[in-house]
Amino acid sequence: MDKEKSPVQCDLCPHKCNLSQNQTGFCGTRRNIDGKISSISYGQVTSLAVDPIEKKPLYHFHPGTAILSVGGFGCNMKCPFCQNYSISQQGIEVSQGYVSPEEMLEFARRAAVKAGSIGVAFTYNEPFLSYEYLLDVVPLLKADGQKVVLVTNGQICQEPLKAVLPYVDAMNIDLKVFSEDGYKWMGGDFKTAQNTIEMSVKAGVHVEVTTLVIPGINDDADMMSSEALWLSQLKKDIPLHLSRYFPRYKLKTGATPVETLYKMQEICKEHLEYVYLGNV
């Protein structure tokens, strides 16, 4: 078979999409173009704003500061309750334009002067999908003294993760549910999320973890206790954010009762020093 016409595997995330010529992967951001996996989200920006660092959420990393926050489009999970679906489940049509790595550095410098920003947070959608862009932009930011923050679902394979970690100062990583079945329902992989948390902590990156607590999905006392125990074995003082779910996108389940959040917090505190509630 002609090499250009053979399917090519993308090894960035556990989906390992096998893509034929001009076919786009599950995430909507990577395509087989002329026999090569190409990033169609390279430098495409959907949002650019200066946010308090606590909004990422990061509570133990330069508290009280602000950070330039950048988002693109696409996601390699398909959570029916996605709180950010207007960019994560869309294609390039939602992009507001192209920002080169050098221009991003300029934006970061300006945000530092004007708003006291400490660096750049790649957030709002899954940042690892713009992998080649990240690899181009984060060394520039680091060389300039900017902090690099990633807010991620952790769905990335180990090899590509290893290459980025030396440039990352802090991450908020989702641990959406503590089960294989739960991750499958959301289009993700449990073990990969665990690996990403583990590898990032071991690499010395400042890591905080977020779980969106959803009735009937992950508000089981035993499941939550197992999650907190596993995290505590990795790092006793890892901050865990339990965030309140509200109905969005395809899931119609009612909002998480505030009492459930308090109960989950109590359970997690049996193992972890820092358990915060969000959206309450």
Residue 103 or 132 having the CB closest to ligand SF4 = 132
Residue 13 or 170 having the CB closest to ligand SF4 = 13
CB of 41 to ligand SF4, least distance (A): 10
Torsions phi, psi for 98 (to 5 deg): -95, 135
Residue 13 or 82 having the CB closest to ligand SF4 = 13
Residue 164 or 238 having the CB closest to ligand SF4 = 164
CB of 104 to ligand SF4, least distance (A): 21
CB of 271 to ligand SF4, least distance (A): 32
> Which residues of this protein are in contact with ligand SF4, per CB under 6 A?
10, 12-13, 15-17, 25-27, 30, 76, 129
**Separation of CA 177 from chain center:** 15
CB of 72 to ligand SF4, least distance (A): 13
Torsions phi, psi for 110 (to 5 deg): -65, -40
Give the HSE-up count for residue 73: Cα atoms under 13 Å, Cβ half-sphere.
22
Is 223 in contact with 258 (CB distance < 8 Å)?
A: no
Residue nearest to ligand SF4 (CB): 25
Helix (H, G, I), strand (E, B) or coil at 251: coil
CB of 266 to ligand SF4, least distance (A): 37
| Residue in the block written with tokens 């992989």 | 189
Residue 28 or 57 having the CB closest to ligand SF4 = 28
CA-nearest of 15, 17, 16, 21 to 1 is: 21
| Residue in the block written with tokens 């926050």 | 69
Say how many C-beta atoms besides its own lie within 10 A of residue 14's C-beta: 17
